[in-house]
Structure 1
Amino acid sequence: MTSVFPNEVVTVVGIGADGWTGLGDPARAALGEADVVFGSRRQLALLPADLPAERAGWPRPMLPAIPSLLGAHAGRRIVVLASGDPMFFGVGSTLVRQLGAERVRVLTHPSSISLACARLGWPEERVEIVSLVGRPVERLHTAIHPGRRVLALSADGSTPAQVAALLVGRGYGPSSLTVLEHLGSEAETRRTGTASEWAGESTAALNVIAIECVASPDAQLLPLVPGLPDDAFDHDGQITKREVRAITLARLTPIPGQLLWDVGAGAGSIAIEWLRTDRSCRAVAVEHRPDRAARLAGNAAALGVPGLTVEVGSVPGALAALEPPDAIFIGGAVTTPGVVEACWEALKPGGRLVANAVTIESEAVLARWQASLGGDLTRIEISRAAPIGGFLGWKPMMPVTQWVVTRR
């Protein structure tokens, strides 16, 4: 009989809460021939007692241990268990990144998402999916919009109460929550209620949270396009104002997966709105004042992008060890010696540099750099209506000079 294990290939088997009975013949054959099976304690407990393979539980944290554990079992037939679909927020994706696709064989299983949608009658393509496994619950903020359906993968039994509290805090207390426990097993159950009425008790550790977002009349709407209201950010006045921010983000051109440096970040509004455009975008906010750095980190969490990297330090020195970016915004450090030079040298080919100036001195710096490197100079002048006695008049904001240049 030909072995199901090609040479030097790790087989990943997706397994559901129904355990062995829910596995297909290929998955059972792989487990039957395995020398060693890796998995969590819960996953390993789903296997038959008479399965001959050695069982090895993952340590915590798991990710750093994978190379050494696989190396220690080199030459053996290895199976790795994954919950549900191994390529959906699963260990299958991790192993492919580390070993390469040619060294990983994946035997899939219905994911908890597909099971949840089947139970609820929700079309999968119309559902926003957010994983909270090992991730801050604040990641939900960018998915919360009126009428939106969201499925959240829970970290443990306390996650539903955290999600309910977050929804209430955002003004989405009327939202419906359905917690689906032990999906696919004989113990499968569900609990339903509104976020504002959620009792806060713990649920089974293995659960998925289904959210139907309903906004209160006073809930603040926070779209994903750039130009959030200034009061969406906690700031001390050091913030790129809403209208200028929208123009600035348009010129920075957020592209999925790309990295931004926000130099002299202040409230972090540029980096935060960059990250909100797509979950794969990355950003580093560089701020020399610790109080502002702490404030902008709080803004990032409150607006759904807790993955923002905050670098506290003075520029240009704080830029030296950073990964080269695809785009750079210079806000509060244009006149600092060496900053524009350091940013230009670090920028990848095809990268965009956008710098804003509001003082005569910083405007002069941009004019010199534009004469040297080219690019566009734009004068941005915004006026907002404000009371004048019993009437309304136009109150001009400080004009902003913006330099935009692409590195060829």
Structure 2
Amino acid sequence: MADSQAWLTIVGIGEDGWDGLTAPARAAIDAADSVMGAARHLSLLGGRGGGERIVWPIPFADGVPMLLERRGERVVMLASGDPFWFGAGSVVTRHLDPGEWVAYPAASTLSLAAARLGWPVETIQGVGLHARPVETLRPLLAPGQRLLALMRDGASVTALAAWLAEQGFGGSALTVLEALGGPRERVRRVAANMLDWTDIAHPVAVAIEPVGPGRVLPCASGLDDDWFAHDGQITKRPVRALALSALAPRPGELLWDIGTGSGSVALEWLLSNPTTRAVGFERDPARLARARANAARLGVERLDLVEGDAITGLADRPHPDAVFVGGGLSPQLVEALRMLPHCRLVAHAVTLETEALLTQCQSRFGGELLRIELAQARPLGTKRGWKASYPIVQWRVAW
């Protein structure tokens, strides 16, 4: 991209301010008609550069129309460090054509933190918690991991430490990194359950080395049922593992989970890869609320939940790559799903009536039928015996 094509220049600015900017970034600021940024970012310029100063409003989204109104002028937008690492860059550029902007990043907090800690960047899992709940970290909590969380302020760091202790990771080593790269830089280390500081300054990030007896989310499908709050209507662990295997989630794919109940299948789909998406359809408001709470507790906030009848709820939704029906499949629902192009369907039946429907569907539309019969050891008098569960029939098909 040639700089001459761009009316917008996105400049990443660090805590070292004007002195840390590259020559092209300085030149863009000198030549700008206006410079937009948070008040803190504008102050880091120290009065250097030309153009009108415009403070970016809060909430951030309110500033995007203000920026777009200046299309055709020479505008500089200031952002923290690397604008495209949990930064504002992508929020703005999604509204622009590629030739309309150019960016000059500064060192990211990730790079600066790695340099202070001696951690290889490729071993660090970064998370932006400016406006996201601390539960976002839940899938990442495991001894031996290296996490870097960008925090909103000192209070959010205190809340993070308390949450880690609640999860059984109170012994985790926290390195609190304040104002990296500038004259106010400070790096302090403390155990999560010992953090009692009241003077943590913004901007701040926290490096986390999880330690403790807390539960770790497995990477394989088939989480224990007690990871999910439920009312008994849940796809049990072994059957769920077989369902996820049949659904075969791939990066970026969208799942429809019809009759989501506790949300267990949709949540495991989302946990399989950070780019997957899922919509859970559920007509029972109590179960819908329970699925939402399960998603929040497991740190999977991107589960989209829809209340209402399945067939009605399907209207105007992006077409899925896969659909799971855990029970209650009907001829009408099959016909509705048949209209979806390039889709994988996995349906389970417990009742004889639904099993008969799956048999008919497999005969008409193809696919595979699998009968799942499970038994668990249970006390039988003074000894033990096998207690069988209801058999489940699985239909797997793609069209």
Which category of TM-score, normalised to the shorter sequence, fits these structures?
A: over 0.9
1:329 equivalenced with 2:324 (yes/no): yes
- Tell me the distance in 2 between the aligned counterparts of 1:322 and 1:90: 29
- Tell me the distance in 2 between the aligned counterparts of 1:207 and 1:34: 30
From 219, 228, 236, give the equivalent of 1:233.
228
1:405 equivalenced with 2:397 (yes/no): yes
| Deviation readout 1:192-229 (Å, 9 max, x if unpaired) | 2222222274622311111001122xx32311321110
From 336, 344, 358, give the equivalent of 2:338.
344
- Tell me the distance in 1 between the aligned counterparts of 2:60 and 2:276: 25
Identical residues among aligned pairs (%): 46
- Tell me the distance in 2 between the aligned counterparts of 1:348 and 1:113: 41
Matches within 5 A, 1:197-346: 197-199=194-196, 201=198, 203-216=200-213, 219-335=214-330, 338-345=332-339
Greater mean alpha carbon deviation, residues 102-111 or residues 199-208: 199-208
From 60, 64, 76, give the equivalent of 2:73.
76
Matches within 5 A, 1:104-253: 104-199=101-196, 201=198, 203-216=200-213, 219-253=214-248
Matched residue of 1:328: which SS?
strand
From 361, 374, 377, give the equivalent of 1:385.
377
- Tell me the distance in 1 between the aligned counterparts of 2:88 and 2:137: 22
Matched residue of 1:73: which SS?
coil
- Tell me the distance in 2 between the aligned counterparts of 1:25 and 1:182: 23
* Structure-2 residue corresponding to 1:98: 95
| Cα pair distance change 1:204/1:343, threshold 3 Å | farther
Matched residue pairs, number?
Answer: 398
Q: CA shift at 1:5, angstroms?
A: 4.8
1:6 equivalenced with 2:21 (yes/no): no
From 364, 388, 396, give the equivalent of 1:372.
364
Matched residue of 1:102: which SS?
helix
| Cα pair distance change 1:64/1:323, threshold 3 Å | farther
Structure 2 runs not aligned, ≥5 long: none
| Cα pair distance change 1:373/1:70, threshold 3 Å | same
| Cα pair distance change 1:200/1:189, threshold 3 Å | closer
- Tell me the distance in 2 between the aligned counterparts of 1:5 and 1:57: 24
* Structure-1 residue corresponding to 2:44: 46
- Tell me the distance in 1 between the aligned counterparts of 2:188 and 2:393: 55
| Cα pair distance change 1:312/1:125, threshold 3 Å | same
- Equivalent AA in structure 2 for residue 343 of structure 1: L
- Equivalent AA in structure 1 for residue 261 of structure 2: G
- Equivalent AA in structure 1 for residue 18 of structure 2: W
> TM-score, normalized by length of structure 2?
0.95
- Equivalent AA in structure 2 for residue 72 of structure 1: E
* Structure-1 residue corresponding to 2:387: 395
